[in-house]
Amino acid sequence: MIPVEVMRQAQQEFLDWNGMGVSVMEISHRSKEFKVIAEESKQDCRELLNISDDYEILFLHGGARSQFAMIPMNLMGDNKKAAYMQTGIWSELAVKEASRYCQPDIVVHGDATHYRSIPEPKAWGDFSNAAYLYYVDNETVHGIEFPYVPDSGDVPLVCDMSSNIMSRLVDVSKFGLIFACAQKNLGQAGITLVIIRKDLLKRKKMPFTPSMFDYALQAENDSMLNTSPTYSWYMLGLVLKWLKKQGGLTAMAERNNRKAKKLYDFIDQHDFYSNPVEKAFRSRMNVVFNLADKTLEERFLKEAKAAGMMGLEGHRYVGGMRASIYNAMPEEGVDMLIDFMKTFSERAA
């Protein structure tokens, strides 16, 4: 979801942005007017996540998956090994992509538990000689989330926060690089936020790294090496302002915790539904659940859709159901789903 207030504002100024008599889509990304959007979104990210000047903030094309390649290309230096925690589908795909450019060493295998929990730190393999340690903070498909920031020692910690960025405050100083596509918590598809510690920009790149994939070059050019996805950037800027108006990330975290707790509590109290994830690792963003009677799933989805609730089918990799309750999902949306789940279980039982 995108906050309704944000979409209303975008609608209202669609044809006439900033009193210019044209759409924001029609102006140059290099115009002084657009530069205000670019500067303010950087500043708002800094404020919301408390990001120090030791970090560069980039807004890039290519979605989260381009980062799967950019990270090894830019961060391997002369090292051959990179360490990966494999805790779900998105980290699996990142390992697969990285293996085209380096030797990804899987130091944490979550698949022993079918991605229902995360092994404890003492069971992790040695990563002390790796170029970086990579993990996915929230595995969107399996509905599991790290309840803590992994301690990576001196090894730069690289994190895919695509599906939980800005859902709570994190200590950015613990990370070497954080990235997130916009379309889950920051607006619409087409732009990806990258927060990178400045010293990492100096690492030797792989010689074939395309200029568009070069973090240092993008940083030097204020993320405008070529034409930026201006409308996605504009929407992202509006979402950041909306987040600030909500009271920032402390307020968002409280709201997100409340939403998730309500839904998990309901599932736990009704045998008709179940959630497979170990409690400590349950995602606050993606609540996966199954019906005790699988044959009712199709009917569940159909009736939910008729009641105005879309997108509840689980990811094609895992099936079942998944309620994605990102930042912009209001608490009433969760209440509505719980009401529906309750009456459905009564009707279908």
Contact footprint for ligand PLP (CB under 6 A): 63-65, 90, 136, 140, 160, 162-163, 181, 184
Give the pair of three-digit tokens for residue 8.
């209303």
- Compare residues 117 and 140 and give the one whose CB is closer to ligand PLP: 140
Beta carbon of residue 62, minimum distance to ligand PLP (angstroms, whole number)? 7
Closest residue to ligand PLP, judged by C-beta, is 63
How many CA atoms within 13 Å lie on the side-chain side of 120?
3
3-state secondary structure of 160: strand
Beta carbon of residue 27, minimum distance to ligand PLP (angstroms, whole number)? 25
Give the pair of three-digit tokens for residue 14.
């669609």
Spatial distance between the Cα atoms of 82 and 24, rounded to a whole number of angstroms: 41
339: DSSP letter: H
Beta carbon of residue 345, minimum distance to ligand PLP (angstroms, whole number)? 29
- Compare residues 83 and 291 and give the one whose CB is closer to ligand PLP: 83
242 is catalytic: no
160 is catalytic: yes
The answer to whether the beta carbons of residues 74 and 122 sit under 8 Å apart is: no
How many CA atoms within 13 Å lie on the side-chain side of 335?
4
**Which residue, among 64, 60, 58, 110, has the nearest Cα to 84 in the 3D structure?**
110
- Compare residues 143 and 237 and give the one whose CB is closer to ligand PLP: 143
Opening angle at CA 327, ends 326 and 332, nearest 5: 85
233 is catalytic: no
Choose, from 17, 44, 90, 259, the residue flagged as catalytic.
90
Beta carbon of residue 87, minimum distance to ligand PLP (angstroms, whole number)? 10
Beta carbon of residue 159, minimum distance to ligand PLP (angstroms, whole number)? 10
- Compare residues 64 and 341 and give the one whose CB is closer to ligand PLP: 64
- Compare residues 94 and 200 and give the one whose CB is closer to ligand PLP: 94
Spatial distance between the Cα atoms of 23 and 37, rounded to a whole number of angstroms: 14
Handedness of CA 314, 320, 323, 326 (dihedral sign): negative
Find the DSSP H helices in 229-310.
230-245, 248-269, 297-306
Spatial distance between the Cα atoms of 7 and 14, rounded to a whole number of angstroms: 10
- Compare residues 158 and 341 and give the one whose CB is closer to ligand PLP: 158
Beta carbon of residue 102, minimum distance to ligand PLP (angstroms, whole number)? 19
Give the pair of three-digit tokens for residue 228.
């930026």
Spatial distance between the Cα atoms of 87 and 129, rounded to a whole number of angstroms: 21
> Hey, what amino acid is at 242?
W
Give the pair of three-digit tokens for residue 346.
């009564």
Choose, from 137, 160, 214, 222, the residue flagged as catalytic.
160
Q: Catalogue the active-site residues.
A: 90, 160, 184
